[in-house]
Amino acid sequence: MITCLIDDIVVHQPEGIDGLRLTKTRNRRYMGWLYRKLGTFPAGAIRFTEPKVVNLLRTRLAYEGMQAETGFTLKSGSLVLYDSYIDYSQYNYDGRGVSISTRDRMAVSSLEANATTTYSLTPVAACLLHSRALSGSVDLTASGAVASQTVKTAAVLTHTVPLAKPDNAEDIPGTVYETGTTSALHYLNTSDQVQTIRIAGQLRITATANTTTIFALKAGGVTIGRYSVGTSATTLDCVVDVALSLSREQGFVLQFVPETAVSSYSFTYNSGTLISLGVQESYADSTAMGFTAYQLLATLIDEASGGKLKLNSSFFQVGDGANIFLTSGANLRGVVRPVRVSLQQVFEGLSALVPLQLTISGSEVIVEDLQTALAKAPVHRITELLSYRERPDTDRFYNSIRTGYQTWKAESKVSELEVNSERRLATRNSNLRNELNLTSALIASGTLIEEVRRIQFQPDKAGENKSSSYDDSLFVIATVQKPYGRIAEKLERTQVIDGLIDAGNSYNLRFTPMRNLSRWAWRLAGNGPLTVTDAGTQAAVIGYDSVLTDESEPVAVAGEPVPMRALVTTTMSMAEYEQLEGWLELPDGRTGLIMSADWQHTATGDIATIDIEL
């Protein structure tokens, strides 16, 4: 016999209880169960006429409004069959009785309704950030070039070292010129800051002159070396290593200047001649205030649920997610300000890096990495099918996949070598149009992190009364916990092979686009093999983190099995339905992930209709 309770008070069974239909659905964004207790009735057929119940429901609505929490429970002996709350939005009083539907507790709907609400949260954790280079170098060569001149009257015949760029790449701020261009300079500082340019390398020259004299090698008025050249061929090995501080629109030219007049000279630049131009950067480390991912999620869940739900997460508390740090651009540049974020923004941003599940159980919001959560989910076995229908799951067929980050381009020229950019890949499914966008709105670009971080060291831009376009942007930083505090991760979990500027001081190599995609690969079966169609940047990095990941190569994704969807109808008691949440094992032994389930009492028995991913 079924016992009905209203707020733990035993009451008469309402009219139409046999028409109760229950529904639970896995949320596709959070991949977990938010609403498990939805109960509906045909034409509002569940109706209380018992006076004490009618008065209770009318009084609750009158005094507490839609926020009223009134429990509705069905039990068989001590076994709870169904535990829910009255949905006052479906309340209907006809003068004699009250018709209702049921729902989950108010905290659940409050959490979902407020998931997109932006909260202003005071940062509670600190992270030490290291300095990294924002420029690389430009290599110039003069191998094989000849500089010569003959005049009738001896003079101070200066010549510019005939340097040329092997390619057009420029990884330093400012403009690099080749000899023979319209500029008389090798470099001009066209940036908006003073630049310290380091000129380093070697000139290997065979030189002659019509008379013996000293040729001085100079750059920007600084003498680098003095070399004797005479009528016999002389081999010069000129080692260059000098730094010049150049203001805006100031430049330099590398040239040989004779100390006495000559009427002719010839300088042949031999193989091995190479000059590298780089920027000397000297910025201190800094500390940014923010949150660990666990702290931020816990605070947002508390705010969104009105303090009624609490976070439970092994992944973010003690697992791989424990060392994920989140902060705003303002805090990144040393200005301690509240971080403005929403729960959905943080969850979606992190889930692009590691697929996550958010599910609600009682008063806990459980957030774990999806693969582990599903591996631990219960399996419900059925032995008979009343009906079965199977079809290809077109929602899981993709023709293209995007991974990485939505925002990554910086002002620095080395941004073209930023590894945490965006990658686009094509699948084998060319006969449909369905793009899977796994890009994150979080910013993981080490170039952008360093650019924003450096603002605090620039007097004209630093300070509380100044603003930056990234002040409200949300940055993610992989960190390492040391005895003295939290620091940004460098190469602790990565072996860098090629293509990164200042690789030893990189940021977020744990969360490169292909690494992120590799964590999603198990959910993409049936779409492989993948082909990279747009690498985003020229950066290439190979990392070892239990598996080999190469940013220049597509992630291995299985071509089989074909993703399928099945709709299953079977007999099931209300108590069994209450426990239904993980996997469904079919009579033939195949197992599918439960995406939604309906239950109702019919003339032929209790029936469940279950939608599963195969």
Number of domains within the chain: 3
Look at residue 11 and tell me whether its pLDDT is greater than 80: yes
Across the beta sheet with 422-426, what order do the strands follow? 435-440, 400-405, 422-426, 531-534
Q: Examine the domain organization and report whether 95 and 232 are in the same domain.
A: no
Q: Examine the domain organization and report whether 300 and 427 are in the same domain.
A: yes
Q: Examine the domain organization and report whether 61 and 156 are in the same domain.
A: no
Look at residue 181 and tell me whether its pLDDT is greater than 60: no
- The mean per-residue pLDDT over the stretch 216-234 comes to 94
pLDDT at residue 191, as a whole number = 85
Q: Examine the domain organization and report whether 314 and 410 are in the same domain.
A: yes
**pLDDT band of 115, cuts 50, 70, 90:** very high
Beta strands in 94-209 (DSSP E): 98-103, 119-121, 125-129, 137-141, 146-155, 159-160, 175-176, 187-188, 195-209
Q: Examine the domain organization and report whether 317 and 408 are in the same domain.
A: yes
Q: Residues 347-392: pLDDT tens digits?
A: 999 999 999 999 998 899 999 999 999 999 999 999 999 999 999 9
Look at residue 182 and tell me whether its pLDDT is greater than 80: no
Q: What is the mean pLDDT of the chain?
A: 90
Q: Is residue 603 in some structural domain?
A: no
Which amino acid, residue 248? R
Print the domain residue range for 22: 2-109
Q: Examine the domain organization and report whether 267 and 363 are in the same domain.
A: no
SS (H, E, C) 460-476: CCCCCCCCCCCCCCEEE
Look at residue 344 and tell me whether its pLDDT is greater than 80: yes
Q: Is residue 382 in some structural domain?
A: yes
Which amino acid, residue 490? K
Q: Examine the domain organization and report whether 255 and 384 are in the same domain.
A: no
Look at residue 544 and tell me whether its pLDDT is greater than 70: no
Percent of the chain with pLDDT over 70: 95
Reduced to 3 states, what is the DSSP secondary structure of residue 294? helix
Round to whole Å and give the CA distance between 205 and 351.
58
- The mean per-residue pLDDT over the stretch 286-314 comes to 97
Of 235-244, 247-256, 274-283, 322-331, minimum mean pLDDT range: 274-283
Look at residue 168 and tell me whether its pLDDT is greater than 70: no
Look at residue 397 and tell me whether its pLDDT is greater than 70: yes
**pLDDT band of 81, cuts 50, 70, 90:** confident
* Domain at 160, CATH number: 2.60.120
pLDDT at residue 101, as a whole number = 86
Q: Examine the domain organization and report whether 371 and 266 are in the same domain.
A: no
b/e map 26-57, b = 16+ CB within 10 Å: bbeebbbbbbbbbbbbeebebbbebeebbebb
pLDDT at residue 498, as a whole number = 67
Q: Examine the domain organization and report whether 310 and 363 are in the same domain.
A: yes
- The mean per-residue pLDDT over the stretch 284-292 comes to 97
Q: Examine the domain organization and report whether 85 and 206 are in the same domain.
A: no
Look at residue 162 and tell me whether its pLDDT is greater than 70: yes
